[in-house]
Structure 1
């Protein structure tokens, strides 16, 4: 597994992944038009949002982005439908979170849907622990922070 920066040539691949309900149900709930993919996921928001493609020996299989906004920083990730359920997501998140922590990023967060138990378990396996919900905003998201070590659950 390796990460590489995404670029404009990746827009069609990313759009294809996001057309699949198994992917976009956890990433905004709807397919993402290629124009939005180009604007958000192919390097246009550097340096505040760094987007990587996840690659295996079989080629690209997902996307992970690291972002920072003032005192806040976090990760967002999805895997193509064919790459889900193999433990790749936690491995990618753990590796990137550890690297960002070494670079000085602190309080690295993720915000999966609280009712998406599969995603919550995956983030826990990557070393993220729940710290709080987001009461009152109606988002149903759970705030998790990187604890710097492997956790079970």
Structure 2
């Protein structure tokens, strides 16, 4: 796994704009999946597809943010188009690990088909996992 910092100049906000976490560490970057992290906050941004070929990389990225910053871990999945059972398992195992330390894994921007997979398998009730910002029914 390659980790490097992205330097893109100043990150000023206009008056009234909402500050968002700056994803300044790339945890993983392939044609299939990109995982970016915010060094000073417990946030990950994932875009692409998560499957058996990169589930281990997702696990490593989740562990890295757990080790880097205390508190709950937040993952933005709005840019994830596909996830298989191996990917779901990476999230549920991370949630269980966090739960054992009184922390949570909070998933944001979960698409309706990914939310449905969590529910069909029954892993939506995994201790330490919170699916936040569920899609509208």
TM-score with structure 1 setting the length:
0.40
TM-score with structure 2 setting the length:
0.43
